[in-house]
Chain A
Amino acid sequence: MGLLSIIRKIKRKEKEMRILMVGLDNSGKTTIVLKINGEDTSVISPTLGFNIKTITYQKYTLNIWDVGGQKTIRSYWRNYFEQTDGLVWVVDSSDLRRLDDCKLELDNLLKEERLSGASLLILANKQDIKGVLTPEEIAKVLNLEAMDKSRHWQIVGCSAYTGEGLLEGFDWLVQDIASRIYMLD
């Protein structure tokens, strides 16, 4: 039994979930991770790489992979069997200009076969700013209703600054993953 099989076992036994956080730059991924980890969110600079944070929620251990630039992310989630259970796509609700970009990147990501089973949480971030798009409007722009029927998804408005909406979003994500892979425990 080598390391790679141990990783698989541990993942299952310790009720680990692997969550990949992606989205365009400056959408607030790292801020969200720091916020839910209870760390200081006052000084944030662009993420030049990736961070793994382990957070517990209820009886589950969430390993959150917060990944920077989109072009190079692939090897992180394809590596070492740690299949991605959940995908968090963060949208900057105030950045109307790049919403088309955002849609394009999301569509590309969802085409990846290895992400086909992952639950998708879309966080419409920066809801604390006045005049931003609502989650419903963003859902329309991203054309989420047209998604593959087998995909579990949810869009939640949030603010990484105040923390609003984050618990709701992650609660949905964790429950959804749990109902798929640990339904009996």
Chain B
Amino acid sequence: MEAIEETAVTMNQEEDELESKETVLQKYFLQEWNTVKSLLDDIVSKSRVSNPSSVHRIRSILDKYQEQGQLLEPYLETIVSPLMNIIRSRTIELGVASNEILEIIKPICIIVYTLVTVCGYKSVIKFFPHQVSDLELAVSLLEKCHHTNSVTSLRQESTGEMEAKCVTLLWLYILVLVPFDISTVDTSIANNDDLTEFELSPLVLRIIGFCKDYLSTAGPMRTMAGLVLSRLLTRPDMPKAFTSFVEWTHAVMSSVTEDLLHHLQLLGVVEALAAIFKAGSRNLLLDAIPVVWNDTSMLYKSSDAARSPLLRKYLMKLTQRIGLTSLPHRLPTWRYMGRVAKLNVSLNTSNKIDQSNLSVNDNNSNSNEMLDREEDEEMDVPEIVEEIIEMLLSGLRDMDTVVRWSAAKGIGRISAHLTSSLSQEVLLSVLELFSPGEGDGSWHGGCLALAELARRGLLLPASLPKVVPVILKALHYDVRRGPHSVGSHVRDAAAYVCWAFGRAYYHTDMRSILEEFAPHLLTVACYDREVNCRRAAAAAFQENVGRQGNYPYGIDIVNTADYFSLSSRVNSYLHVADSIAQYEGYLFPFVDDLLDRKICHWDKSLRELAAKALAILVKYDPQYFVSTVMEKLIPCTLSSDLCMRHGATLATGELVLALHQCSFALPSDKQKSLAGVVPAIEKARLYRGKGGEIMRAAVSRFIECISISEVVLSEKIKRSLLDTLNENLRHPNSQIQNAAVNGLKHFIRAYLHASDNKATIDVTEKYLNMLTDANVAVRRGSALAIGVLPYELLASKWRNVLLKLCGSCKIEENPEDRDAEARVNAVKGLTLVCETLINGRKDTATSFVEDDFSLFILIKNEVMMSLFKALDDYSVDNRGDVGSWVREAALDGLEKCTYMLCKIDKSVCLSGRSDENEIEPITHLSTDSVHKNNQELHLFDKNLATNLVGGICKQAVEKMDKLREAAANALYRILYNQTIYIPYIPFREKLEEIIPKEADAQWAVPSYSYPRFIQLFQYGCYSRDILSGLVTSVGGLQDSLKRVSLSALLDYLEGVESEDINRITSRINMLSVDILWVLQQYKKCDRVIVPTLKTIEILFSKKIFFNMEAHTPAFFAAVLDSLSFELKGSKDFSKLYAGISILGYIASVQEPINKRAFSQLLNFLGHRYPKIRKASAEQLYLVLLENGNLVAEDKIDKALEIISETCWDSDIDLAKHQRLNLNQIIGVEVGPLGNNSDGTSRKTSSKNSTDLDENASYSSLVESSGF
């Protein structure tokens, strides 16, 4: 059941896009049609499919139009006719005896069958050939297909066998309509003319034979066989065949075998019978009814039917058709006739009668009713019909939607043939489905049936008073089931009924009903949880209003609540509902719906939204909300139902706030009861157990709302509320903490400053102490709390507050205490406190007291430094890069503090120059000159500016998308700040070029951001920051990022934009220096070193750094120094691999330095990790091939042999032995044998290798390299 609803929901979501998809597809098909056409022409010209891929190509194109079959219909004839002609002519030509014919028709049938699935069989078979002589041909062809049940049936890709069977069956479906006696067509009879009149022609027997076979298959052939039978057996020359088939179905339906085959056969038989009863004439079918009906009703009660929705659906179909056959054919004269004019009639006659038209109609219907009454008496209803209606009614209750649909249509069709009194009884039975004991399925089925009746004019306006209340209930049907609820399908179906009513009834008949419907429809349109229900209700409203012509505010409402505005729940609740509520008649239904159904909804987010939506409506009638709504809500805050008390608490809070915002003064008794809400909740211990957390957040929000509204509280309650907030502040759940902080912010401003000074100081002191609490949750909460304290509470002890917060921003020394969230909150709190302190000073701009300056200096020195440190927080835990949260907060903090410092600088300047207080935008130039005069006074100096921009740029090239974007945006705001100009930024012009003012920001896209930021390499003050960030991207793990950032780097180094060779060399030189700086700066810090080594390795592989002349050996030597230090004792494989690879590159160069790298590499052959030994052996092999002068020429072959023959990753002793051999061959003496390469060897000072003598012995090299 739920699964169905879910699919219904997703279906509806998919439909959103359908309409626009259709337009696109339409345009698209015009192009694709040319492809299809040329492929088809090729097939037709060769009379066969020569290339199987063309079939798949056609099929894949056509399949796309599955939902929009009508787009293909204009082309069907051009596709189908020639293909079917090929099938026909080739069958004649080759004869069915040959096997070749199958191979020819199969691929063609695949194309035709694809069209059947896209456009429906009815459209396609119109273009099938239908000459009398084709009948035998098709039968033989089908027999041929039928008997070649191939072994390939398990293959996934269709070979066309199934399609061939289906297409031939469909062909037969057309051909059995030949208007001649089939026995005259049958050539086998012509041969031996001894057929008696009681026997069937062999041709017919053959058809019936394989159709019966197909009835018990699982594929689409089952349905098609049923269709063939329905036409064949209802032919006037086939009564015998019909009778015997019905006997056969009786045998099948009454058998009790329980296996899959029998089940399939049941499906086939019932489906075929349903088709027969649709096609056949009454006279033929009447005799069969007793038996078939008996079997049908028995089968419906069987376990087979209980298990299979499909079988029940077919049974519903068959049942209603039996019913229709049993009833005399008549159009009900009592039916409601919607007044639909005929265009041509009214145009031809309108000259003569304009108004009389209507009155004539009225007369007609009156006289019809009279006639009808008389007919009623005569009407004889067979007994069987009552049983049938009974079964259809039970089908409306079915648990499956498809069955309910079929039953609803059946009820509609059958009622159309009943007398008015009988159909009245049917209606009453349908209405019984809406009784309280029935499940959601019954309500849904009932709605569908009512809509069907209305659409057919079978629901007379006289019955509407009985029907309307039921529909109104169904519009709000929602039944809790565990943690969620069911009923969206019922609400949707109820909207369908309203829509159907609008179309069925003449607008004057509908007017009063619409007035009843409208508030309910719009309530659903605004406040239903499901988008499909909201849209359905709005569609029903639109349809009705459009037909009324002139409904109060109809056009405005339809304009507001349209398909798109309702797609978002938030928009529907907060905007659409708001504008509809202004029209008369909707406010109270809206409020009632929110109060009765949404405030206590099971979906938490819906409750929160409902509380806000309720508050929005306050402005339309504040008095009503105070006297009635609040009265209802306050007791609910103590409800035993969690959803109810949570929703009610939130709603009450929002209500108070909204009343405050429209300046409505609450009477004192209301204030009193509001003050009592939280203590009562606390007293009832509603924070405990399940739902306690939900209540905590709601209570904090409530306190926030009453604080903003300044509801009068007693001292005792104030204390108790503060306790509540403090309690929530230490809660580990961050949502609760945030809610508590927001509450605290307004609570303190509203209630605490007025009371005695002692308490206020206590609060600040208390939170300061909590900053160093052992409990991380307490630390997190207190940092945030300090951030929202007002100036008055901070002013007296600002130094202590700032210093303590700065301390909390640092990574905690004790690893056990480390908590990224606490640091994030500290950074945020620090920023907020600075803002409060700066903005709260009494005399802004003109005069400064001594204390102010020490505050500024503290911000400049301590706060900014702490924020810079926080920007370097790269802590990792099992959640990953948690330091990134701190860095993000630090970015924001730095940006804000920069603005503050610059503002102070500016006002100091101004006050120094003149007494003018106004702040005017100052041009770039004039500020610069001012700055020169007052250089020493400036808080925000060049050093700070460089660090700031450098730090941000570093974040802008690191590996996390989110941070890169945040950093780039921060830089953008700093460069183009509207209120204050940020001075001293080095190379500002270049930065403005990189980050253009009009940029349509794509900073999250690496290929956009990297090439821009890499330009900053040219400037020494930024290059190191950029590099230390960039290596994490280039040498990182994420492939796409690696590619983009590397290509940006290479483009820069290879000077894509300039041809100047000197410039390129200098760029590379600069980069090499910066790389060495990074290696020094981040010693043993694998987070940076590993990617840096990888970056070096990649750059080596691109032959960068090899042409730096004098710099090259120096660079190599420094890299080797760093490597020997970094790789010693390292257990990090990626680091070791990168290191070995770098050694390989250096060993391969022709400089003397290669020997040192070579010997380091040799040492790795004895490394304790087998994989490392193997990797270094591979590297050595390559080096020796590359660089002949490392080893004497006569020994090189031997050395290569040892390297390649030895199994380096097996035994370590063997490896060490072989390394010794190798050393001897090459002529290297080795230091003390043992594990000197695994990091335990003694530490030796690295020697500056640039002045290394080429002739120095290898052993000293080995020694100096530390292995």
Contact = CB atoms under 8 A, between A and B. Distances in A.
A49 B554 contact: yes
A35 B11 CA distance: 41
B558 A3 contact: no
B535 A4 contact: yes
A40 B347 CA distance: 12
B494 to A, nearest CB: 9
Among the interface residues A51, A75, A113, which one has the most CB atoms of the partner chain B within 10 A? A75
B546 A36 contact: no
B125 to A, nearest CB: 11
Interface in A94-126: 113-114, 116-117
A64 B1006 CA distance: 53
Given A1-B405, A40-B355, A49-B555, A79 B347 contact: no
Contact of A78 (B11, B27, B73, B562): B562
A164 to B, nearest CB: 9
Interface string A10-52: 0010000000000000000000000111111110000011111
B340 A54 contact: yes
A154 interface: no
B639 interface: no
Contacts of A2: 8, 11-12, 489, 492, 496, 532, 536
B546 A167 contact: no
Contacts, number: 153
Nearest to A80: B539
B342 A56 contact: yes
Given A4-B532, A113-B23, A170 B343 contact: yes
Interface residues of B, number: 63
A81 B342 contact: no
Contact of A75 (B8, B344, B495, B558): B558
Interface stretch (B14-22, B35-43, B151-159, B720-728): B14-22
B74 A180 contact: yes
Nearest to B540: A3
B1008 interface: no
A58 B8 CA distance: 35
Given A1-B401, A51-B546, A75-B562, A37 B12 contact: no
A183 interface: yes
B823 to A, nearest CB: 50
B520 to A, nearest CB: 15
Contact of B19 (A35, A50, A61, A83): A83
B8 A35 contact: no
A114 B19 contact: yes
B925 interface: no
A94 B597 CA distance: 57
B188 to A, nearest CB: 36
A75 to B, nearest CB: 4
A52 B549 CA distance: 7
B11 A65 contact: no
A82 B350 CA distance: 30
Contacts of B345: 38
Among the interface residues B23, B348, B401, which one has the most CB atoms of the partner chain A within 10 A? B23
B23 A114 contact: yes
B354 A38 contact: yes
Interface string B530-554: 0010011011101100110111001
B1181 interface: no
A3 B342 contact: no
A69 to B, nearest CB: 9
Nearest to A10: B455
Nearest to A79: B563
A166 B345 CA distance: 12
B355 A65 contact: no
A4 to B, nearest CB: 6
State the main secondary structure of chain B at its contact with A: helix
A35 B354 CA distance: 9
Interface in B417-434: none
B346 A81 contact: no
B341 interface: yes
A50 B555 contact: yes
B15 A167 contact: no
A5 to B, nearest CB: 6
A7 interface: yes
Interface residues of A, number: 53
A146 interface: no
Contact of A3 (B349, B353, B495): B495
B357 interface: yes
B217 interface: no
Given A4-B532, A40-B355, A79 B8 contact: no
B559 interface: yes
Contacts of A42: 354
Contacts of B126: 184
Contact of B555 (A12, A38, A48): A48
Nearest to B126: A184
Interface string A145-179: 00000000000000000110011001000000001
A55 B346 CA distance: 10
B590 interface: no
B347 A166 contact: yes
Nearest to A64: B343
B503 interface: yes
A54 B346 CA distance: 13
B562 A5 contact: no
A5 B12 contact: yes
A89 B8 CA distance: 38
Nearest to A83: B19
B535 A78 contact: no
B499 A7 contact: yes
Contacts of A37: 341, 346
B1007 interface: no
Contacts of B640: none
B47 interface: no
B540 A35 contact: no
Interface in B990-1048: none
Interface in B548-599: 549-551, 554-555, 558-559, 562-564
Contact of B341 (A55, A117, A183): A55
Given A3-B492, A75-B559, A36 B347 contact: yes
A184 B76 contact: yes
A91 interface: no
A48 B27 CA distance: 36
Contacts of B341: 36-39, 55-56
Interface in B1-51: 8, 11-12, 15, 18-20, 22-23, 26-27
B508 interface: no
B123 interface: yes
Contact of A49 (B15, B349, B549): B549
A129 interface: no
A4 B15 contact: yes
B346 A6 contact: no
A184 B562 CA distance: 34
Contacts of A57: 342-344
Among the interface residues B15, B540, B555, which one has the most CB atoms of the partner chain A within 10 A? B555
A62 interface: yes
Nearest to B356: A38
B539 A4 contact: yes
Contacts of A61: 340
Q: Which 9 A-B pairs have the closest CB atoms?
A: A38-B346, A52-B546, A3-B536, A49-B555, A57-B343, A75-B562, A80-B539, A3-B496, A2-B492
12 contacts: A1-B11, A2-B11, A4-B12, A8-B15, A36-B346, A38-B346, A38-B354, A39-B341, A41-B354, A56-B342, A170-B343, A183-B73
Given A55-B343, A72-B559, A79-B563, 14 more contacts: A1-B8, A3-B536, A4-B539, A41-B354, A49-B555, A50-B546, A51-B547, A55-B341, A72-B555, A76-B558, A79-B558, A80-B535, A162-B351, A163-B347
Interface of A: 1-8, 12, 35-42, 48-52, 54-58, 61-62, 65, 68, 72, 75-76, 78-81, 83, 113-114, 116-117, 162-163, 166-167, 170, 179-181, 183-184
